[in-house]
Amino acid sequence: MTEDLQTESLDVIVSAIERSQGSLEVLSRSLKEDMDKKTGPGWNIVCGENFSHCVTYTKNMIFLYFGGNLGVLCWK
């Protein structure tokens, strides 16, 4: 991801975490809608405390965020 898209993604993730009030389902849905609006459709989102990943993604279109016990994986 470009630095601009990384910064934008981080802003979207942090604001969605604040809005979700601890609900992972609300967080996932909110993130997907926000990322699709900002950068076009096709985003996949995984949120949780314990998960691993092996995904196929478009070049430079993956973002992994960990804050405390919460992990968020976004890819297109």
Enter the pTM of the model: 0.82
Please write the tens of the pLDDT for every residue from 45-59.
999 988 877 877 777
Please write the tens of the pLDDT for every residue from 19-30.
998 899 999 999
Using DSSP bridges, classify how beta strands 62-67 and 70-75 pair: parallel, antiparallel or unpaired: antiparallel
DSSP secondary structure string, the chain? --HHHHHHHHHHHHHHHHHHTT-HHHHHHHHHHHHHHHH-S--EEEEESS--------TT-EEEEEETTEEEEEE-
Among 3-7, 27-31, 43-47, 59-63, the minimum mean pLDDT is found in 59-63
Q: What is the CATH number of domain 3-75?
A: 3.30.740.10
What pLDDT is attached to residue 11?
92
Task: Give mean pLDDT, residues 39-43.
Answer: 90
